[in-house]
Amino acid sequence: MLTIDQIQIRDPYVLPVIEEGNYYLYGSTDKNIWGKGTGFEAYVSTDLISWEGPFTVFRPSVDFFADTNFWAPEVYSYRGSYYMFATFRRLDNGFLGTAVLMADSTLGPFEPLSDGPVTPASWSSLDGSLYIDAEGQPWMVFCHEWQQVADGEICAVRLSGDLKEAVSEPVLLFTASQAAWTTPYVSPRFPERSNFVTDGPYLFTSKSGKLMMLWASFIDNQYALGISESESGLVTGPWIHSEQALYRNDGGHGMVFHTFEERLLLAIHTPNRTPDERAIFVELLEVDGEWSIGHP
């Protein structure tokens, strides 16, 4: 058994399975996620304290469309199967893209479902996240990478019912600079321009019925997490951003889940450096429409 501080992981994603009494932890688990990709591992816990694993849940075939940067797997129960949304760097053009994989069980093995990424082929896109709207329409919310567009974007695209492909053009929801809490990211690769990062969008509905989004960026070149609200209650927004970051202590790429005791926990990784990144779980509190971080 392992404790959470013994597991090197980025972009943590927790899937609670009530029927089993188990929490499944997925994430970017390669020792060096900036290089060649190995695959994804998962861990299992009954109490979020002691974890079994790692369990191998994905390994690429020899003809897989990517061999570098295997990032941010998110796993959803949908129509009786399990679907993984994960980011990979394409071999054909070098751009990042989010693809959909499928398995019959939480521990896989996950196999490609989509024909390569479902994000636009000419875009460098990452961190696709599934959202099912009130009419049952599946959407993928994702980032159009700042390295390609300077002011990183959060976009959404409708998916087919089987999640195999996009069935609409992407809709721009907002750019990173529109939030008051973000600051320009100073990049040695692009020193001549003003860069704003978008990273790790995740949608959820608050206890008061509001559609919320977590997403990460940078404040003074330190990783941070913000929260936004859809004014219309629709994925297309418009999105209203909190004035201050929700978490700014070198952590981000967040998601939320309910424990079996009905606490709402926020999962992020911190610090934002390899190989020191670890998952942490803290309570996410909503009081009179204001959001704050509570206790672990």
Q: What is the pLDDT of residue 109?
A: 98
- Spatial distance between the Cα atoms of 124 and 199, rounded to a whole number of angstroms: 12
Cis peptide before 238 (omega within 30 of 0): yes
| Segment holding 15, helix H or strand E | strand 10-17
Average pLDDT (99-108) is 98
Strand, coil or helix: 229: strand
Q: What is the pLDDT of residue 18?
A: 97
Average pLDDT (155-182) is 98
| CA angle at 64 for the pair 63 and 70, rounded to the nearest 5° | 150
| CA angle at 59 for the pair 223 and 271, rounded to the nearest 5° | 15
pLDDT tens track for 252-288: 999 999 999 999 999 999 999 999 999 999 999 999 8
The better pLDDT of the pair 208, 221 is held by 221
- Spatial distance between the Cα atoms of 13 and 33, rounded to a whole number of angstroms: 16
pLDDT band for position 147 (cuts 50, 70, 90)? very high
Q: What is the pLDDT of residue 57?
A: 98
Average pLDDT (189-200) is 95
For residue 199, give the nearest of 129, 258, 249, 292 by alpha carbon.
129
Hey, where are the domains in the chain?
2-293
User: Do 88 and 112 meet the contact criterion of CB atoms below 8 Å apart?
Assistant: no
Average pLDDT (79-102) is 98
pLDDT tens track for 41-80: 999 999 999 999 999 999 999 999 999 999 999 999 999 9
What would the two tokens of residue 96 be?
């990042």
Strand, coil or helix: 277: coil
For residue 196, give the nearest of 227, 217, 171 by alpha carbon.
217
Burial 217-236 (b: 16+ CB within 10 A, else e): bbbeebbbbbbbbbeeeebe
CATH top-level class for 2-293? mainly beta
Q: What is the pLDDT of residue 247?
A: 97
Q: What percent of the chain has pLDDT over 90?
A: 96
| Segment holding 149, helix H or strand E | helix 146-149
Q: What is the pLDDT of residue 271?
A: 98
Q: What percent of the chain has pLDDT over 70?
A: 100
Could you identify the residue written with the tokens 């990709």? 37
| CA angle at 73 for the pair 70 and 79, rounded to the nearest 5° | 140
Q: Report the amino acid identity of residue 171.
A: V
Q: What is the pLDDT of residue 288?
A: 84
pLDDT tens track for 29-39: 999 999 999 99
Q: How many C-beta atoms surround the C-beta of residue 266 within 10 A?
A: 24
- Spatial distance between the Cα atoms of 133 and 137, rounded to a whole number of angstroms: 5
**Chain mean pLDDT for the chain:** 97
pLDDT tens track for 241-251: 999 999 999 99
Check pLDDT > 80 for residue 295. Answer: no
